[in-house]
Amino acid sequence: MTKFTDLNLNPKVLKAVEEAGYETPTPIQAGAIPPALEGRDVLGIAQTGTGKTASFTLPMITLLARGRARARMPRSLVLCPTRELAAQVAENFDTYAKHVKLTKALLIGGVSFKEQDALIDKGVDVLIATPGRLLDHFERGKLLLTGVQVMVVDEADRMLDMGFIPDIERIFSLTPFTRQTLFFSATMAPEIERITNTFLSGPERIEVARQATASETIEQAVVQFKASRRDREGSEKRTVLRALIDNEGDKLTNAIIFCNRKSDVDIVAKSLKKYGYDAAPIHGDLDQSQRTRTLDGFREGSLRILVASDVAARGLDVPSVSHVFNFDVPGHAEDYVHRIGRTGRAGRAGKAITICISRDDKALDAVEKLIQKEIPRLDNPVKPEAKAEKPARAAKPETEARAPKPEAEARAPKPEAEARDPRKEAARSPRKDEKPAQKPERSSGRGKYGKRDDKTVVGMGDHLPSFIALSFAERRAS
C-alpha cells in the first residue's frame, strides 16, 4: 500500500502531513502527486470528498519550497469557484506549509481591496482567488501574472455552472505558456473537455471513480410529497422537513439542508428557528463576515443545521456531517452528487434524504439516470395532517341543509310579486296629461312580470300601421 513517504515529497511537507494525522494517501492523491512533482500537467477527475485539495497543495508546496516571490508577481495561482472553497484551500496551505517559509494571499469578494493589495505588494508565493476578484485586481494594475509557474483550477465543473469559463480562459491567456497546469473536476462536461484540450499539454489523466457517482457509504432516500393545496405547498413541505429531522433523532448530529433558491434558504432557516431548531442560512447574498461566522460555527459544532444554496455544495470540508436534506431536487443532476457528497466523507457513513414534489419528477429521473440506480422511496411522515383537513370540508353539507328554506320561499314568489305589482304599476301608470291612445301602440303584449295581456296586439298580427303600406315615393311626399 502506498504511503506519503513513498511520494518524494519535501521532508518538511511530510512532517506537516504526519502532524495532521495522515499516513496513507487517497487514490486521487496517490495518482496526481507523482506526475505533478515531475512538472507534468495533471487532469484529475474524482467525486467530491476524495481529497483533491491535498493532491495539488502538497506537490505545489514541494515545488515552491525553493525560490522567492517578487512584488505583484505571484509564483503560483489557485482558482476556486466560491469564497468558501478558496478559504478552505488557504487553510490547507497553512496546515501543510507550516514548516516551509512560503507566503500566500487570499483574494475573495467581501474583503477590503486595501488589505489584499498590501499582501500582493510584498510578493506572494501562492495566490488563492476567485476569478472575479482576481481580474478586478489585474484591471486595477495591482497584479501581474507573468511569473506564475504553477496554475491550479479546482472544481472546474462548478466554474462552468457559475458562468466563469470566459474568465478562466482570459486568466489562462494572462499566464505564461510554460506554466504547469493542474486541473481538477468532479465531472467532465463537453465545455470542460474543450478547455483541457486547449490549455493543457499532454496531461496525466487520473480518474479514480466513475464520473458523477455517489459514495457507497451514503444511504439515500426520497420522500414524494403532494400538497393538499397549491398555496399551502411551501408550509406543508417545511412540515415534512421538520418531521424527517425529528425521525432521525440522535442519529442526526449535524445536517446541511440544500435549497434551489436563495429566498427559500432564508425562509427555511427562519421557519426552523421558529420551531426551536438550531439553524442558520448561508448563500451568496449574505455578507462575507456573516458567512464566515456561520461556517465556523458549523465546523466547530456550535451550529447544528446549516441551510444552504449551492454556493456551499462544493468545498465544504466538514468530515463529520451526518445528514444532508435536499429541500428541493436540484435542477442539474450533477449538483445532487455534490450536495450529498457533503456527508459520508472519508469512509464515514452518511444519509441523504430528498423531498420531491410532482413537478420535480423529471429532475429526479435525471438524477437516477446519472447515478445509475433507483433511489429508495420513504413514506411521507406527515400523513395525519392531510386527514385533519377533511372534517373542515365536511362542514359544507350543514350550510346546504339550511338551503331548503330560501328555496321554499323561492318556489312561491307569486303572492309577493302580486303584492308588489300594484305599487310599481302605480308608479309607472301614465300621468293625467299623457294621451292614453299612444300606450297600446308601444305595448309589447306582455306586462311587467311577463304575463300575457290578451287585450293587446302581439307582434304585427292583423294590425298594420298605415305608413308601412306607403311606397317610398309616397313616404317622401308625405
Domain-embedded: residue 411: no
Could you say which of 339, 366, 392 is where a domain stops? Answer: 392
Burial class (CB in 10 A: 0-12, 13-18, 19+), 56: buried
Domain-embedded: residue 194: yes
Dist. CA 277–CA 419, nearest whole Å: 69
Q: What is the CATH classification number for the domain harbouring 340?
A: 3.40.50.300
Are 136 and 237 contained in the same domain?
Answer: no
Are 304 and 442 contained in the same domain?
Answer: no
DSSP state of 431: P
Domain span including residue 474: 437-478
C-alpha cell recorded at residue 117: 493589495
**Residue closest to 333 by CA, chosen among 376, 371, 279, 380:** 371
Domain-embedded: residue 289: yes
Are 203 and 286 contained in the same domain?
Answer: no
Burial class (CB in 10 A: 0-12, 13-18, 19+), 431: exposed
Are 252 and 371 contained in the same domain?
Answer: yes
Domain-embedded: residue 321: yes
Q: How many domains does the chain have?
A: 3
Domain-embedded: residue 424: no
Domain-embedded: residue 397: no
Are 222 and 199 contained in the same domain?
Answer: no
Are 116 and 245 contained in the same domain?
Answer: no
> pLDDT tens, position by position, for the chain (478 residues)?
688 999 999 999 999 999 988 889 989 999 999 999 999 999 998 876 678 899 999 999 999 988 787 888 999 999 998 888 898 899 999 999 999 989 999 999 878 888 899 989 988 999 999 999 999 999 999 899 999 999 999 988 888 877 899 999 999 999 999 999 999 987 788 888 999 999 999 999 998 866 566 778 899 999 998 888 889 999 999 999 999 999 999 999 999 999 998 889 999 999 999 999 999 999 877 887 888 899 889 988 899 999 998 765 565 667 789 999 999 999 888 788 888 888 887 678 899 999 999 999 999 999 999 888 999 999 999 865 443 334 444 444 444 444 444 444 445 444 444 444 545 444 455 554 555 554 444 444 455 555 555 555 555 556 666 766 677 666 677 6
Are 231 and 190 contained in the same domain?
Answer: no
Are 165 and 225 contained in the same domain?
Answer: no
pTM for the predicted model, two decimal places: 0.66
Could you say which of 392, 416, 449 is where a domain stops? Answer: 392
Are 174 and 59 contained in the same domain?
Answer: yes
- In the chain, the amino acid numbered 313 is A
Are 309 and 249 contained in the same domain?
Answer: yes
Are 370 and 266 contained in the same domain?
Answer: yes
Are 258 and 315 contained in the same domain?
Answer: yes
Domain-embedded: residue 404: no
**Do residues 384 and 228 touch, judged by C-beta distance below 8 A?**
no
Domain-embedded: residue 400: no
